[in-house]
């Protein structure tokens, strides 16, 4: 019961997302702090030691707009007993500025009450981390985020998910989408089978489930595993008329990467068969604003 309470508290940091705008800073700081707790226990985290990792987490998994690690490091102290910041002069954050937080001896740590709960219940780290991931990020990104945050979710088997935070999954979604696209990647045409069953193909969401993206064909694309990952990381996107876009911030050297990724630019995405509904423009627009790393290569 106590564990559930902490999970709810971690999920409450999502409240500040307005109108589908991604607010990933605080969840990413919490995930990072939970990773540090898993590795080092209750050690304070100097801002100077956390800054680079936080900046990278924000750049890779936060929204496309620029965000500073200053923001969550300071502002998470306002949430309910999750995070505290202290200076050599005592408790309390010096404020949301780089200059203030970079001063020697400025450090953050998980709130003492949370540390107590985490120490008493070894499954709580995983429970909170899983809930934060489910409530804020598409599933294809969970493993990458854990790796970079230093979190190991495999040490504890985790039966509980953040069900309360999300609408129930439609168990038919994957099949509906794959079938509609004739088991073919809508970007590259990949259509592999293993013993007659589709392999390496996913039903991808344009608008993330964590941001009210429905399990509906108008929010789905059948994509191969590579293109699904690149869609969720903002390398690939769609225009409102469903032309594929590639971020100009994406670079590669090999001919393979050129063929698999860069050559997709300006190609039309494959539509679903049998006159079934296309991806809806409002879901494309959400992905363009909140995930795609603009600008795109010239069409």
Residues that contact Zn ion, how many (by CB under 5 A): 6
Nearer to Zn ion, 152 or 191 (CB): 191
Nearer to Zn ion, 60 or 191 (CB): 191
- 224 makes contact with Zn ion (CB under 5 A): yes
> Interacting stretch for Zn ion, rule CB under 5 A, among 169-177, 189-197, 249-257, 284-292?
189-197
Q: Which of 177, 185, 238, 244 touches Zn ion (CB under 5 A)? A: 185
Nearer to Zn ion, 187 or 250 (CB): 187
> Interacting stretch for Zn ion, rule CB under 5 A, among 16-24, 92-100, 142-150, 217-225?
217-225
Contact 279, 219 (CB under 8 A): yes
Collapsed DSSP state (helix, strand, coil) of residue 186? coil
Least Å distance, CB 228 to Zn ion, is 8
> Interacting stretch for Zn ion, rule CB under 5 A, among 7-15, 58-66, 186-194, 269-277?
186-194
Contact 130, 160 (CB under 8 A): yes
Collapsed DSSP state (helix, strand, coil) of residue 86? strand
Find residue 268's DSSP bridge partners.
243
> What angle separates helix 142-149 from helix 124-136, to the nearest 10 degrees?
130
- 187 makes contact with Zn ion (CB under 5 A): yes
- Rounded-to-integer distance, Cα 87 and Cα 84, Å: 10
- 228 makes contact with Zn ion (CB under 5 A): no
- Rounded-to-integer distance, Cα 230 and Cα 52, Å: 23
Nearer to Zn ion, 126 or 237 (CB): 237
- 188 makes contact with Zn ion (CB under 5 A): yes
Least Å distance, CB 290 to Zn ion, is 22
Give the angle subtended at the CA of 147 by the CAs of 144 and 148, to the nearest 5°.
90
- 227 makes contact with Zn ion (CB under 5 A): yes
> Which H or E run includes 144?
helix 142-149
- Rounded-to-integer distance, Cα 72 and Cα 13, Å: 11
Least Å distance, CB 82 to Zn ion, is 39
> Interacting stretch for Zn ion, rule CB under 5 A, among 30-38, 70-78, 227-235, 273-281?
227-235
Find residue 197's DSSP bridge partners.
194
Contact 134, 210 (CB under 8 A): yes
> Interacting stretch for Zn ion, rule CB under 5 A, among 51-59, 117-125, 177-185, 204-212?
177-185
- Rounded-to-integer distance, Cα 197 and Cα 208, Å: 26
Positions in the binding site for Zn ion (CB under 5 A): 185, 187-188, 190, 224, 227
């Amino acid at each position: 019961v106590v564990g559930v309470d902490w999970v709810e508290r971690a999920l409450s940091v999502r409240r500040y997302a307005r109108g589908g705008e991604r607010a990933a800073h605080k969840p990413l700081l919490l995930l990072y702090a939970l990773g540090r707790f898993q590795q080092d226990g209750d050690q304070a985290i100097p801002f100077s030691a956390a800054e680079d990792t936080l900046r990278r987490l924000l750049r890779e998994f936060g929204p496309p707009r620029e965000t500073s690690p200053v923001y969550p490091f300071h502002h998470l102290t306002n949430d309910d007993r999750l995070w505290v910041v202290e200076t050599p002069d005592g408790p309390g954050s010096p404020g949301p500025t780089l200059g203030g937080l970079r001063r020697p001896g400025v450090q953050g740590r998980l709130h003492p009450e949370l540390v107590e709960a985490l120490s008493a219940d070894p499954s709580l780290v995983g429970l909170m981390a899983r809930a934060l991931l489910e409530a804020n990020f598409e599933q294809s990104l969970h493993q990458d985020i854990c790796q970079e945050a230093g979190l190991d979710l495999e040490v504890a088997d985790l039966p509980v998910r953040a069900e309360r935070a999300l609408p129930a999954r439609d168990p038919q979604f994957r099949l509906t989408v794959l079938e509609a696209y004739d088991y073919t990647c809508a970007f590259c045409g990949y259509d592999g089978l293993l013993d007659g069953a589709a392999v390496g193909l996913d039903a991808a969401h344009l608008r993330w489930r964590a941001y009210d993206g429905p399990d509906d064909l108008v929010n789905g694309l059948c994509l191969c595993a590579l293109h699904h990952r690149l869609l969720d990381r903002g390398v690939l996107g769609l225009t409102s008329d469903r032309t594929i876009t590639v971020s100009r911030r994406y670079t590669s050297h090999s001919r393979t990467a050129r063929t698999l990724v860069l050559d997709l630019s300006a190609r039309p995405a494959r539509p679903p068969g049998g006159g079934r509904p296309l991806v809806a423009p409002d879901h494309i627009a959400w992905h363009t604003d909140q995930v795609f790393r603009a600008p795109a290569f010239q069409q």
